[in-house]
Structure 1
């Protein structure tokens, strides 16, 4: 496929073979970029979140001069840190997230009654508009021998013993085994914790972070272990064991970024959306006279003289079949869902801009029913090419009567003031409707209370 507008040159066989190799490598690089590899903008990731483990309890006794057998004074372990996801306006992509997000474990208890400090929470900053969905983790298939743990190893995983203390030694007849009592006590606590977990709402986490500084705790850290004073009783004045900290939660999540903007620019490839965004806002997206110049959404801010602002998102070009995820369909369409107003950018210099408009509307409606019912505006771009644009504009106005049309030339910034004024009126109307709906909802809640 030859590029239009380039002069035709004749090459020798060797030069032609070299050009084929270069074209193949460039096509491979282009396909590599379209598949999402190497992109700086990532809007869908899957992570495994791990809460921090609790710190271990300490086995210690008070010792000083003339006090050979003091009371137990081992400290409790600190609680493990939690994994928190927070919406931040400074972030624009999910590229910085790793595969595993682990919080810090709690500090172990120390002698002298010093409790361990709590592990630091891991705060994961994500862009505003991120949807957090929990996935059901599939248990790994392992050999049965892996689960056969020796009794000594099981005790070491759960308990901390005083040095040279042998819990397996046989006690004289009639003497109480205090360690067995402690094991029964912890078994009752485990049973209670399992019961409480069943009583809690165990639905999968599904949170939409649409406000700045909005956060959600997705994994909690494990509780710290008990020091040996926890097991002090009237009979057992010298407990020589403590518990280790509990494990933190481990969950798998899917994070999907959906761009939040007042206006979403939707159009076919090379319709002039990036040029239009650069003409009306402070954004500087890449511009070029070829298809798929924009490979990820750009959000620009339109500033007015009275300090009023509205945001406009440049959605990459859609093609026919995008709702079936052809090309990068879903990667583009997910950013249209949150736009309050849809602006269809059509190329007046094309063969049939009204057919492009029908294709865009059908793809949006197939992807999400009811999406095309939002307030819309048609921007007839490239009106500077008068010969074909005038005839196409008349036919477009005949076939589309329910959506207002504004003709512009983004390249030469013609009729931009009228376009921004129209956008502002539409955005103000939508915002007023949203505020009124919120006010009515609050009044209804107050009446119910």
Structure 2
């Protein structure tokens, strides 16, 4: 989904002077404006979808500065929980409606340079009452304006740098916070412009607009093992048999429209996450059907579990189709640790014959690729050989963990 995020507008600086008994002309005492609120994303393990994320997110406006050197409060930060595994990419803003060149020329003829300068000053400066026209004629104001323009130039350079280096985030650490849109800075109170020559500045600056970004949010499911199979291979039934997940199961050919994640609980309280990746079809790598929306979830699975319908006419061909689609979608994806789950092994008429052929194909594969391929025949419907499968999955995950630990040391 695409989201517009904008930091809150900074509060305006204050033009004020200290007024005390027996002091008719006190020093400047205007406070600075508060910064605008940030838009913050938090990686949450308790959220699994982006349904609660609004299309437009704006941080709170900063409070204006006050007299007696009281700075305004910062605007309220907008904190949005985002599911773990979400990839955030900054995209170009949506194209604006084109304006006819003749219309632009007419507008430019109507607005002269003086009017433009006046509008810019009105948007950038706060004046002491009745000094709206007097301040722009002052030398002190010109000096202050030059200083602010120099600061603005640095901000524009930073903005240009941000535009060139677009934001890219991968939310994989639980509870980690990311500021995706910074709130605008608050305006300066009039004490900021006090100099030896100008002891009573009668102007302050307005707050600055917050950072504005357009983001694309995409969830990529994180799991220890991903179940990959053609529609009606029995992935949902298998996930129900080995974990606490309860996806929809039907006796007719259909494919799950959303990935389900289940947790496999072991007797020693060890846990393992398994994802039911929606069914892959021929041409999924070309985005046929819901191809890419399915395949992107496989990228985060540490182990690939090919679920094959052993009762089909040619289950080894189904396995080839799955490998081919994965490899065409992402190079070397099939090189990850994997195993084959030969499901529906209880259908004795064809399953026994097909299993023998599958074991023969596995040996050929091992010789050609120098890669061990484990085939586990099961019946997900009746829960047969499930313990062997879950034990094997745990061994594979622990082996990967040990390898990753040794590489980091």
Shift, 1:65, TM fit: 3.4
Moved more, 133-142 or 77-86: 133-142
Q: Give the SS at the match of 1:188.
A: helix
Within 1, Cα distance between the matches of 2:345 and 2:95?
59
In the alignment, does 2:33 pair up with 1:82? no
Shift, 1:366, TM fit: 0.6
Gaps (5+ residues) in structure 1?
A: 1-44, 440-449
Within 2, Cα distance between the matches of 1:436 and 1:266?
29
Describe the shift of the 1:94–1:170 C-alpha distance in structure 2 as closer, same or farther (beyond 3 A). Answer: closer
What corresponds to 1:387 in structure 2? 349
Shift, 1:200, TM fit: 7.8
Describe the shift of the 1:129–1:415 C-alpha distance in structure 2 as closer, same or farther (beyond 3 A). Answer: same
Gaps (5+ residues) in structure 2?
A: 367-372
Matched residues, number? 391
Q: Deviations over 1:336-383 (max 9, x none)?
A: 011111111111111111111111111001101111111111111111
Contact 1:209-1:215 at 8 Å conserved across structures: no
In the alignment, does 2:121 pair up with 1:155? yes
What corresponds to 1:204 in structure 2? 166
Q: 2:214 pairs with 218, 240, 252, which one?
A: 252
What corresponds to 2:295 in structure 1? 333
What corresponds to 2:369 in structure 1? none
Describe the shift of the 1:189–1:320 C-alpha distance in structure 2 as closer, same or farther (beyond 3 A). Answer: same
Within 1, Cα distance between the matches of 2:21 and 2:243?
78
Aligned Cα RMSD in Å?
2.0
In the alignment, does 2:81 pair up with 1:125? yes
Shift, 1:293, TM fit: 4.4
Within 2, Cα distance between the matches of 1:196 and 1:330?
35
Shift, 1:168, TM fit: 5.1
Q: Deviations over 1:163-219 (max 9, x none)?
A: 122325896xxxx53222221221222234345566789411222121212232222
Describe the shift of the 1:130–1:166 C-alpha distance in structure 2 as closer, same or farther (beyond 3 A). Answer: closer
- Tell me the TM-score normalized by structure 1: 0.83
What corresponds to 1:167 in structure 2? 133
Describe the shift of the 1:146–1:252 C-alpha distance in structure 2 as closer, same or farther (beyond 3 A). Answer: farther
What corresponds to 2:263 in structure 1? 301
Within 2, Cα distance between the matches of 1:292 and 1:252?
36
Within 2, Cα distance between the matches of 1:122 and 1:166?
35
Within 2, Cα distance between the matches of 1:85 and 1:436?
32
Within 1, Cα distance between the matches of 2:179 and 2:136?
47
Q: What pairs with 1:20-419 in structure 2 (closer than 5 Å)?
A: 45-137=1-93, 140=96, 141-142=98-99, 144=104, 148=111, 150-167=116-133, 177-195=139-157, 202-401=164-363, 402=366, 403-419=373-389
Q: Give the SS at the match of 2:208.
A: coil
Within 2, Cα distance between the matches of 1:170 and 1:297?
63
Describe the shift of the 1:146–1:393 C-alpha distance in structure 2 as closer, same or farther (beyond 3 A). Answer: farther
Within 1, Cα distance between the matches of 2:278 and 2:121?
58
Q: Deviations over 1:275-296 (max 9, x none)?
A: 1001001111111112334210
Q: Give the SS at the match of 2:79.
A: strand
Q: Give the SS at the match of 1:248.
A: coil
- Tell me the TM-score normalized by structure 2: 0.90
In the alignment, does 2:395 pair up with 1:433? no
Describe the shift of the 1:146–1:382 C-alpha distance in structure 2 as closer, same or farther (beyond 3 A). Answer: farther
Moved more, 357-366 or 135-144: 135-144
Within 1, Cα distance between the matches of 2:136 and 2:188?
25
Contact 1:47-1:98 at 8 Å conserved across structures: yes
Q: Give the SS at the match of 1:187.
A: helix
In the alignment, does 2:390 pair up with 1:420? yes
Moved more, 389-398 or 254-263: 389-398
Moved more, 284-293 or 349-358: 284-293
Describe the shift of the 1:196–1:368 C-alpha distance in structure 2 as closer, same or farther (beyond 3 A). Answer: closer
